[in-house]
Amino acid sequence: MTEEQALGHNGEREAMAVRGHRRGNEWKNVTYAVHRRTDAPRPPDDHPPHWPEPDPAGWQLLMTGNGCFTGLTALEVWGVSLPPIPDGCPVFMALGKNDPRPMRRGVHTSRHIAQVDFAVVRGLRVATPAEALVAAARWLSKLDLVLVIDNALHRGLVDLDELVRISRTRRPGARALRAALPLVDGGAESLPETLLRLLHVWCDVEVETQCIPVDENGVEIARTDIWLVGTTSHHEYDGDEHEKAPRRVKDLQRSRRIDKAGHVRRGYTLGDLLHRSVPVLEDMDRAVGRQHDPLRIRPWVELIRQSLYFPSGRAAFLERVPTCPPRRRGGGA
């Protein structure tokens, strides 16, 4: 029997999670026929936040030694930032072609002829970032896929050449990955910053990320999220941390430096990007010197509605991802 082990109080190795049925208060049910010890040490960051049951050691017992977590599950373990994941999102597992399929609610399995490349991260077998991205590409909308690729690139977990190579295969998800790659940049430090960049791209405004404007003496002023090429305008995402007093003081000083150098800095919130994008488009049109046309925003609105940022996109995502039906017998299914 395969078991995840941990040192017990007596110095001997005890089962942290086991397959089979266990009785007593010292055991907690993870899923059908998988239990873990209630006193097993688990660091707060030892599991992704969206798993059906917060016990990765238990879920890993459902796989053979060649299986691994993949897709969004693996990306979370690697630390990639993800769009809003809906409740009911399954655990994604990659198995061998002849491996037994775990019939558990909340699990999605994919079969592979060749073994999926994986690494062990905090005791968990997880697909490499490139493998996880091509697996996730099967289920994510185009916008969501660009967001996670951008974040993985920025974190240095994968390089673009590696993604290009895997996108040229006939793997499921490769075509979607290939279609998303021309839109990635890797310069954004957060998902909203990528959203801001993509909003400009969809409205036909050329931008550069992480730009450093200079004053008349060639002195660097500050690094900005995006620069509207050919203009003096810089657009940035302002998250909640910008409202805190110490950060607010620094932001005001920074804005004055940018203004003194003859540049324009405009800040936007996540709500502006998702729900109030026409005023952002108006700022773009004015900056690049073209006539404002609110109809330009329609492709962006449709893209957002298909993403995990909207209820319609989350519902569509859950409909696309097949999972095992719940068991009719047994506990904890």
Does the pLDDT at position 203 exceed 80? yes
Say what angle helices 142-154 and 298-305 make with each other, to 10 degrees: 80
What pLDDT does residue 261 have? Answer: 78
What pLDDT does residue 175 have? Answer: 96
Look-up of token digits 């006193």: 39
What pLDDT does residue 333 have? Answer: 32
What pLDDT does residue 37 have? Answer: 56
Instruction: Note if the pTM is more than 0.85.
Output: no
Among the listed residues 281, 286, 315, the one whose alpha carbon sits nearest the alpha carbon of residue 299: 281
Look-up of token digits 């059908």: 32
Q: What is the mean pLDDT of the chain?
A: 80
Long-range CB pairs of 30-35, under 8 A, 24+ apart, other chains included: 30/55, 30/58, 30/59, 30/332, 31/58, 31/59, 31/62, 31/104, 31/105, 31/106, 31/332, 31/333, 32/104, 32/327, 32/330, 32/331, 32/332, 32/333, 33/330, 34/58, 34/59, 34/61, 34/62, 34/332
| Start-end of CATH 3.40.960.10 domains in the chain | 191-316
Spatial strand order in the sheet of 4-7: 4-7, 13-19, 34-37, 27-31
Residue with the larger pLDDT of the pair 168 and 11 = 168
Taking only the tens place, the pLDDT of each residue in 91-144 is: 898 888 877 676 667 788 888 888 888 998 877 889 999 999 999 999 999 999
- pLDDT band at residue 329, thresholds of 50, 70 and 90? very low
Alpha-helical segments (H) within 168-276: 174-180, 191-202, 245-260, 270-274
CATH homologous superfamily of 191-316 equals VSR Endonuclease (3.40.960.10)
Residue 303 to residues 48, 155, 216, 279, 306, Cα–Cα distance (Å): 27, 25, 40, 18, 5
Taking only the tens place, the pLDDT of each residue in 308-325 is: 999 999 999 999 987 654
Beta bridge partners of 224: 211
